[in-house]
Amino acid sequence: MSLYEKIANKQERISVVGLGYVGMPLAVAFAKKVDVIGFDLNEKKIELYTSGIDPTNEVGDEVIKHTSVGFTSDETKLKEAKFHVVAVPTPINSDKTPNLAPVEGASTIVGRNLTKGSIVVFESTVYPGVTEDVCIPILEKESGLKCGYDFKVGYSPERINPGDKVHTLEKIIKIVSGIDDESLEEISKVYELVIEAGVHKASSIKVAEAAKVVENSQRDINIAFMNELAMVFDRMGIDTKDVIEAMDTKWNALRFTPGLVGGHCIGVDPYYFIYEAERLGYHSQIILSGRKINDGMGNFVANAIIKKLILANKVVKQSKVVLLGITFKENCPDIRNSKVVDIIKGLNEYGIKPIVVDPCANADEAKSEYDIDLVNLNDIEDADCFVFAVAHSEYVGMEIEQVDKLFSISENREKVIVDVKGILNKEEIEVRGYSYWRL
């Protein structure tokens, strides 16, 4: 009987190592079909899950309450599983080089709890070669087992889009790969238990690793192009959103828009590709240029805010600026690598300490990560400038009367509204005489 058959018959278990925005939804999905162990080093996170609380908002508290996942921070429980999925984050260092410490640490933990006949699948985003050149040697060292004989390894890049309730895990085609044909078939069948859209069998682990970094780098480059246009159009006095709406009438328009590019995927993955390319002697031109443009957008927005304050006859240092949103994307509590923080840093250089409001973000995380105290929107008054930085549902279509009540008592032309995401009705705002700017 194959490992897949044993798992399907609940004779063997799956473990998911790393229960964040990627691992937790995967563990919950598998648990609907088979027995699952959900492991994470963060004991506080495990306590939340076992209490029926979903801090990621990916599946919701009700689902967490009723899932059969065996949540644990005890690594020895991994010995009870034969199919291990590693879904830990792969961030970058301050010098933009890959930080492989989390995936190396996870490999160490899995390795010392690995048993013969197991399969280990890595989902963490890495540059081509990491699974075979970095992870497998760690697994072999810690377990005393031989890869290809005693255990098998595969790679299946995560494709979850945090906060997206349409393109969910089950509806996204899963790229899978294995160290040999046998492992590829086993891995494919296991994922097909939960992936309704089906799987794509990559020809090698390196191909699967490359596919992940390339798909995010492609998006990064396209957004960088739109961001560069936005900066030029701003100098020309042309509204970028008006240009995009006109351009998008053509059937083959790509429909990218300018914006802040943060988070743990698009804002990080290109650096993994750049690192490995440069290690092999090739200096990236397009990808690196795109990254530089996108990394600079927070400061560009901050400067636009300052200009609007000056034109509205505000004393910049004394201006009360309110930032709506700090997460890296809409309707998601994830604040990792948020480029809204770059706006805050830019404003700080002019002596402005903005007030930050975000109904999705965790206040404790914002404080510990960025030393930012989140404020309730209802407590805001006498503001000089509102910056719509993230398109949370609470802000989309927000009535201008709601915003006006939070401003200081002054002429409308002295009230500044900066709309980073272009979610407000420009004509309605300008006809009322507000000082308005959008990216």
Residue with tokens 């440069």: 278
| Beta carbons of 228 and 293 less than 8 angstroms apart | yes
Residues annotated as catalytic (active site), given as ranges = 265
What is the amino acid identity at position 92? I
Residue 274, token pair as written in the block: 């750049």
The candidate with the shortest Cα–Cα distance to 105, out of 81, 139, 132, 79, is 139
C-alpha closest to that of 138 among 183, 181, 186, 102: 102
Residue 18 tokens, joined: 């790393």
State the distance between the two ends of the chain, measured CA to CA, in whole angstroms: 58
**280: buried, middle or exposed (CB in 10 Å: 19+, 13-18, 0-12)?**
exposed
Residue 156: name the closest of 127, 198, 199, 194 by CA.
199
DSSP assignment, residue 135?
I
CA 368 to CA 126: how far, in whole Å? 27
Q: What is the 3-state secondary structure (H, E, C) of 391-411?
A: CCCCCCCCCHHHHHCCECCCC
User: DSSP characters for 77-133?
Assistant: GGGGEEEEEE-----B-TTS-B--HHHHHHHHHHHTT--TTEEEEE-S---TTHIII
Give the CA distances from residue 261 to residues 166, 258, 296, 396, 421, in Å, rounded to whole numbers and listed in that order: 21, 9, 10, 19, 12
User: What residues contact 409, with CB distance under 8 A and at least 6 apart?
Assistant: 382
